[in-house]
Amino acid sequence: MLNLNTDQLHTFVRACELDSFSAVAREQGRAQSSVSACIQNLELDLGLALFDRSGKFPHPTAAAMALLPLARQALGQLQRFQQAADSYQRGEEPLLRILFEELVMPDRLNDVLASFSQRFAHTQLQLRSSSHHQAVQSIAKGEADFAFVTSGGSYPGALEFNTLGRQQILCLATPDHPLAHQQPSSLREAARHRQIIAAMEEGQQRWQLSSQVWVCDSLLQALDLACKGIGWVNAPYELARPFLKSGKLVELKLTSALSAWSLDVDLLWSAKTAQGKAGLWFAREARRLYGNYYSPPIEKSDSY
């Protein structure tokens, strides 16, 4: 491994760009002899002539011009390395792992995550869908940091939770489905048609009305099956939005209290895991995702 340093790389890059050792010296506030020595040492380390000194001014060789973009890239990587280290030193986590049940995926979660990416550029996120049981176990074992789940009543002692609000669930079918032609429709009428249910865990089938049921462990697959006219389905707006926007599915109006199906949503985290700045910010924003009190994510200039 070559014993290169950032001063050598930076001086080399600026010498190529300015085509003058003296100009680099003036820019860096150092003697020209120091710049020349820095370049010569780099040439010795590499075993390459980087500048042609036969003319009045040193001129980059072909090898130097080929190495120039790599030197710029290396300096950029070093700068990002330092910035990431600085962010972790300030208490930002290198990684946050977030789970969610598909049925309670927040409508505005991606808006919050977009703001998160700007504020915490060096914190990586892992986002995964999960069943309720798997999410609870992952938080309890320290395998995940946060989980959006349907309210479960009680949780293991090591878990903390906050009830965020209610997630509205839509009833959906293709525009040419019989239920779409009879809006509003009754629950009794809906029960006469095949229903597609998403259930990630056996025995967790919600809102079954029809005796004709297809069960999927993926809500996106259930929505796609509904698009093919196989049956009607329940889904949260966030996942249904592209299907509604494209016109492949329409919202059904069912005449019953159940027509406004919804689920209480909890945010889980472990009491054993200390939260850094990124985690604290995310938890605060998650509490504002449900209900009419939602407002855009707090800007970068705001305090934590």
Q: How confident is the model at residue 1, as a pLDDT?
A: 47
Task: Give backbone dihedrals phi and psi of 96, rounded to 5 degrees, phi first.
Answer: -125, 135
The sign one gets for the Cα dihedral 235, 236, 237, 241 is negative
Give, for all 304 residues of the chain, the pLDDT tens digit. 467 888 899 999 999 999 889 999 999 999 999 999 999 999 998 888 999 988 888 899 999 999 999 999 988 888 777 766 766 676 678 889 999 888 888 878 888 899 999 988 888 999 998 888 899 999 989 899 999 998 877 888 788 888 888 888 889 999 999 999 887 888 889 999 999 988 755 555 677 888 899 998 888 899 999 999 999 999 888 888 899 999 999 999 887 655 567 888 999 998 877 788 888 899 888 888 875 433 344 443 444 3
CA distances from 292 to 112, 113, 287, 295 (A): 16, 19, 12, 9
Whether the Cβ atoms of residue 16 and residue 58 lie closer than 8 Å to each other = no
Residues 6 or more apart in contact with residue 203 via CB below 8 angstroms: none
pLDDT of 293: 37
Residues whose CB falls within 8 Å of the CB of residue 290, separated by 6 or more in sequence, listed in order:
106, 164, 165, 166, 167, 265
Contacts 24+ apart (CB under 8 A), 15-18: 15/39, 15/51, 15/58, 15/60, 16/60, 16/64, 16/65, 16/68
For residue 70, give the 3-state DSSP assignment.
helix
- Residue 98 has a pLDDT of 93
Q: Give the per-residue pLDDT at 237.
A: 84
CA angle 60, 64, 65 (to 5 degrees): 85
pLDDT at 36: 92
Separation CA 187–CA 240 (nearest Å) = 21
Q: How many other CB atoms are there within 10 angstroms of residue 154's CB atom?
A: 7
- Reference 100, options 9, 208, 219; nearest CA is 219
Residue listed under structure tokens 């999410």: 135
pLDDT of residue 182: 84
The confidence score (pLDDT) of residue 60 equals: 92
Q: What are the φ and ψ backbone dihedral angles of 174, each rounded to 5 degrees?
A: -70, 155
What pLDDT sits at residue 203?
A: 53
- Count of other CB atoms within 10 angstroms of residue 243: 21
